[in-house]
Amino acid sequence: MSVLAPAVGAVLAAILESSVLTHLQVGSVRPDLVFAMGIAVAMTLGFESGMTWAFVGGLSLDLLLPGRALGASALALLVAVALALLVARVVWPPRLLVVAATAFVLAFAYHAIGLALLAFNDGVGLGGLSLPEIAAIALVDGAIAGLAVPVIRALDLRFGESERLAW
């Protein structure tokens, strides 16, 4: 797949996360759609698609959600996706359960980086979400990433570049 498809997908996921998912939260537990799908895209499609998703999706989130510094979400997503790519490199091809577990574990790092950047930029304390709330968000993110893998693979098989001999 070209890098245009992940860029468009990241923008659409950011729009969904900032509009629809803000109304579907239970307490302070709201899934991070751009993060979960970014992990799934990176581990399924590779470096270029994953980094494109992280950068474009992060900037889109920063522009759509009020109170975020421009580039903070992009930086947190780039770090999380880079770590997911390292896991995918060790466990190739990544299975559905590996992608879901990676998204679950990296959700803690993603939120920690996000809170640290927010504290650094705005000068606020590291309050934010509690550990049980982050664990609940991580469970939802892992489920979203796991469910996204078959869809991403099917889209890649249907619309991805076919292998050809280089003559």
Domains and CATH numbers, the chain: 4-159 (1.10.1760.20)
Residue with tokens 């280089």: 166
What would the pLDDT profile of 37-51 be if each residue is shown by its tens digit?
999 999 999 899 999
The pLDDT of residue 99 is above 90: yes
The pLDDT of residue 127 is above 70: no
Provide the pLDDT for residue 39. Answer: 95
DSSP state of 76: H
Is it true that the peptide bond before 93 is cis, omega within 30 degrees of 0?
Answer: yes
Q: Tell me, rounded to whole angstroms, the distance of Cα 114 from its chain centroid.
A: 13
d(CA 33, CA 15): 10
Count CB neighbours of 161 within 10 A: 8
Residue with tokens 């990544």: 94
The pLDDT of residue 25 is above 80: no
Residue 26 three-state SS: strand
**Selected residue with higher pLDDT from 20 and 35:** 35
Mean pLDDT on 118-138: 77
- According to DSSP, the residues that pair with 26 across neighbouring strands are 29
Of 53, 100, 102, 99, nearest in space to 77 by CA? 53
Provide the pLDDT for residue 120. Answer: 79
Of 9, 50, 13, nearest in space to 141 by CA? 13
Q: Is residue 124 very low, low, confident or very high in pLDDT (cuts 50, 70, 90)?
A: low
Provide the pLDDT for residue 43. Answer: 93
